[in-house]
Amino acid sequence: MLQNYLKIAIRNLWKHKLFSFINVFGLASGLTVCLLAIAHIKGTFDYDNFHPNRARIYRILTDVVYKDNNRVAFATSPMPLGIALKRDYDFVEATSRIVRTYGEFSGNHKRFSDILSFAVDPDFFTIFNYQLAEGRPATEPGTAVVTRKTAERFFGTANPVGQVVEQEGIGPLTITGVLADTPANSHLKFDLLFSLATSGKTMLPGVFQDWKQYQNGYTYVLLKPGIAADQLRNVLPALTKRATDKLSFRQEKSYSLRVQALTQLSPSREELMHSTYEKQVGGLLVEMGVGLITLLMAAFNYINLTLARSLSRAREVGIRKVAGAVRWQVVGQFMAESVVLSLLALGLSVLMLELVKPMAFVQQWLIGGVTWDWPLWTAFVLFSIVAGLLAGVVPARVLSGFEPAQVLRSQTGLRIIRGLSLRKSLIVIQFTISMICMISLLTMTRQQQYMATGDYGFRRERVLTLPLNDVPPQRLANELNRLAGVERVAATSELFGSFGDTQMIKRQRSGQDSSMAFSWSINDQFVPTMGLTLLAGQNVPVATADTSGRLVLINEEAVKAFRLGSPQQAVGQSLWLNDSTEVSIAGVLKDFRFTTFAWSIKPLVLRSQPSQFRYLTVSVAAGSEDAVLADVKRIWKQLAPYEPFMGWWYDDFLRQRHSHAEDIEFMGLLIALAFSIACLGLLGMVTYNTQTRVKEVGVRKVMGAEVRQIVWLLSRDFVKLLLIAATIAMPLGYLAGYAFLINFAYHVAIGAETLGLCVGVLLVLGVLTIGIRTYRAALANPADSLRAE
């Protein structure tokens, strides 16, 4: 019987090629998005599966109860915990503390501020199975291991073992090994690991013996074979009570410790403060939801087209029932057709998957590190079969319910509300979803374009930025100042448009009015180079050493935050930086946007500290850009012959930082698929509608109707559906776009240009789809359709 179902299903699909293509392409598009989500979800369950002892590894979490009874869970734990567990309990085989460190790394005359580094105990390399491609682990003080990529950034193709790198505040680190590439994803991501003993005296002094400090690092425990997690879980309350019994907390009422198995760490089922790099269940559900919505739109096409052909299929059902078929057999026939369609769509979706795999967004966020093994492919096949069965449920139940005696006069026309048919409702839903997605994407694109090209309040055109690494800033500045076309050369610690550094600032050293402010180090040429406006006071003076950085510039927001009166009144007043450094305000700058557009303008302090300079910014005269760039490269080659030239224009830096082209490209692909599915479904409906009215069209033409009148007759109902979809989608799309924009302090508006463009695209695509098909039907020769009458 199953063989008979499949044979008839294939014949029916081949007989109606257009409808079959529409259904297969639509289902394949939806399946492609779902398969990406399934692969990503499967990958999150594979996190850390390359550790042979993963079933015995646990992370200790901290549940904190604050004095307002608010409970917060932290992925971190007190630093003395690991030592206490290993010392006092014989069922613990090994423990390791992992502390995230921050600061710029330097080595081989290069500096990098984006190195992801952790300080770890020696047992880290016993607990976890991070293999070394060469060398030995960093178990001794002053040693480190790096990833292969990081080694190449610092030392190129030279052997990094034995080389020295240094992090601010930590000291020199000798590289003892190079980490091999991990075979799968891990919740821990790092570029460099160094011995925790290195930082015990210099980094976070006192933290490693303080049970009150629970936010600075992670504690991992490896239990001995055969030991249950409950044994570790049972000792934590008593251990916590002994350690914290005589401690007094400022904000916390108490905290407790609990055990989290490494095998249960990803995907994360709860929100943890200071979490690592495991995926969140909520994000995975959103991804799967997007895929299911796309697949649902394709299923709408199948339901629409199958029900549209209900009259011809009803005769088939009647004949089958007269011949003795019962309802479940008829249902089986239609379900078989749906499954065959879904399996054909699976084959096409695999090809589409191969096309989108190389996309940067897909590799970085979805399938990077995923193992494409037989369980994953089995899940793909099962998912496609289930999708086919679900898509076929409604048509199968409806069509199998026809009574043979009523088949010839059956015009059942399924109704939902006040004459609005199910098929028309599904078309409206499809285009409504597509338009909501389009409004959201256009809003995101406009916001990112606004951030990439907007007015930050400082000069961004014709400004060249040069990372210094170990090139002497003053020597390079002297060479650049001699070039024709160079207007000014300034030095800075960070680039505006990045997040920058923050400090706690007070008006009085012993006062309680502390506030967070952003801090940059600049020289005396920076303000005129970047086109900043000085409202009061004077610029920072020429400085050759950090001791001259007692005079600072602040912005208007800092004047308000520290209640300094007017800009003129603020000049000459004092501030305290980090409770240790007193500075005097030399001048006040007009507010400008120096960080991301997600934040409103914050207090800013600019001071002259030559030791902190990491970039030179060069303002260039109009028309001299190419010549200056060539000369700068030549000078760079002379001063740093072994360093690649890393300079770029400020405008390009801001564009690259905020454009997120890969994300927009992938989202655009999803929306293109959604509109393709909707338009193909509309094409199928229009095609079937014109086929069923071919004799009516012939009679009207014989009676003198014009082509334009017939086109409007055939298409007006569908145009009304598009207008209904647009009417529903506009307010919903506005809300979706606004939900994205509220995350930014400065953002674009969702106005008539956004909504109008989306409605225009919707109508153009829909009208073209409808018009082309109805125009062809209106041009048909009435003699061909009426000769059988």
Reported as a single tens digit per residue, the pLDDT across 148-178 is 999 998 888 889 999 999 987 788 899 999 9
Residue 411 pLDDT exceeds 80:
no
Least confident of 25-39, 414-428, 473-487, 671-685: 414-428
Between CA 173 and CA 120 the distance in angstroms is 13
Residue 779 has pLDDT above 70, yes or no: yes
Of the listed ranges 285-299, 378-392, 529-543, 614-628, the one predicted with least confidence = 285-299
CB 184 within 8 A of CB 46: yes
229 neighbors 57 (Cβ within 8 angstroms): no
Confidence of residue 201 (pLDDT cuts 50, 70, 90): very low
Average pLDDT over residues 694-714: 83
CA angle 490, 491, 493 (to 5 degrees): 150
Residue recorded with tokens 């002297």: 478
Q: What percent of the chain has pLDDT over 70?
A: 91
Peptide bond into 644 cis (omega under 30): no
| Nearest alpha carbon to residue 666 among 292, 298, 440, 362 | 362
Cβ(142)–Cβ(174) under 8 Å?
yes
Task: Give the single-character DSSP code of 774.
Answer: H
Residue 158, pLDDT score: 87
pLDDT in tens, 337-349: 888 888 898 999 9
Letter for the amino acid at 453? T
Mean residue pLDDT across the chain: 83
DSSP structural state of residue 496: B
| Whether the predicted pLDDT of 545 surpasses 70 | no
How many DSSP H helices and E strands does the chain contain? Answer: 24, 26
pLDDT at 512 over 60: yes
Lookup: tokens for 359: 């996309």
423 vs 220: CA distance, rounded Å: 57
Mode of pairing for the β-strands spanning 604-607 and 515-521 = parallel
* DSSP 8-state code for residue 182: P
pLDDT at 548 over 60: no
What is the per-residue pLDDT for 547? 58
- Average pLDDT in the 531-555 region? 82
Residues in Cβ contact with 683 at an 8 Å cutoff, skipping those fewer than 6 apart: 22, 769, 773
Q: Is residue 258 predicted with pLDDT exceeding 90?
A: yes
Tell me, what's the pLDDT at 207?
59
pLDDT band with cut points at 50, 70 and 90 for residue 415: very low
CB 495 within 8 A of CB 689: no
- Classify 699 as helix, strand or coil: helix
The answer, yes or no, to whether residue 560 has pLDDT greater than 80, is: yes
- Strand-pair category, 57-66 with 252-261: antiparallel
Instruction: Return left, alpha or beta for 166; rule: phi > 0 is left, psi -120 to 50 is alpha, else beta.
Output: beta
Q: What pLDDT does 198 receive? A: 62
| pLDDT > 90 fraction of the chain, expressed in percent and rounded | 24
Determine the average pLDDT of the residues in 464-493. 88
The span from the CA of 396 to the CA of 335, in Å, is 6
Find tokens 């009570």 and name the residue.
241
Do residues 60 and 258 make contact, with C-beta atoms less than 8 angstroms apart?
yes
Q: How confident is the model at residue 192 (pLDDT cuts 50, 70, 90)?
A: very high
- Give me the pLDDT at residue 417, please: 36
Q: Given a cut of 90, is residue 194 above it in pLDDT? A: yes
> 680, 501, 572: which is closest to 30 by C-alpha?
680
| Cα separation values, 514 from 53, 501, 558, Å | 47, 16, 12
Copy the structure tokens of residue 218: 């992670």
C-alpha dihedral, 192 to 197 to 198 to 203, nearest 10°: 100
Query: DSSP assignment, residue 541?
Result: P
| Residues 693/311, Cβ–Cβ less than 8 Å | no
- The CB density around residue 260, as the number of other CB atoms within 10 Å, is 19
Backbone φ and ψ of 420, nearest 5° = -80, 115
- Residue 269: per-residue pLDDT: 84
Give the three-class secondary structure for 310.
Answer: helix
Q: Tell me, what's the pLDDT at 416? A: 38
Choose among 331, 352, 345, 425: nearest CA to 387: 345
Contacts of residue 609, defined as CB under 8 A and 6 or more positions apart, other chains included, come to 493, 521, 543, 546, 549
Which range among 51-60, 471-480, 695-704, 761-770 has the greatest average pLDDT? 51-60
CA 431 to chain centre: 26
In whole angstroms, how far apart are CA 14 and each of 18, 149, 341, 344, 352? 9, 53, 11, 12, 22
User: Is residue 407 over pLDDT 60?
Assistant: no
Name the band, by pLDDT with cuts 50, 70 and 90, for residue 766. confident
Q: Which two tokens stand for residue 433?
A: 């979803």
CA distance readout (Å), 371 to 28, 379, 606: 22, 13, 49
707 pLDDT higher than 90: no
Residue 786's pLDDT band, with cuts at 50, 70 and 90, is low
Mean pLDDT within 655-669:
75
Confidence of residue 5 (pLDDT cuts 50, 70, 90): low
Strand-pairing partners, residue 164, are 174
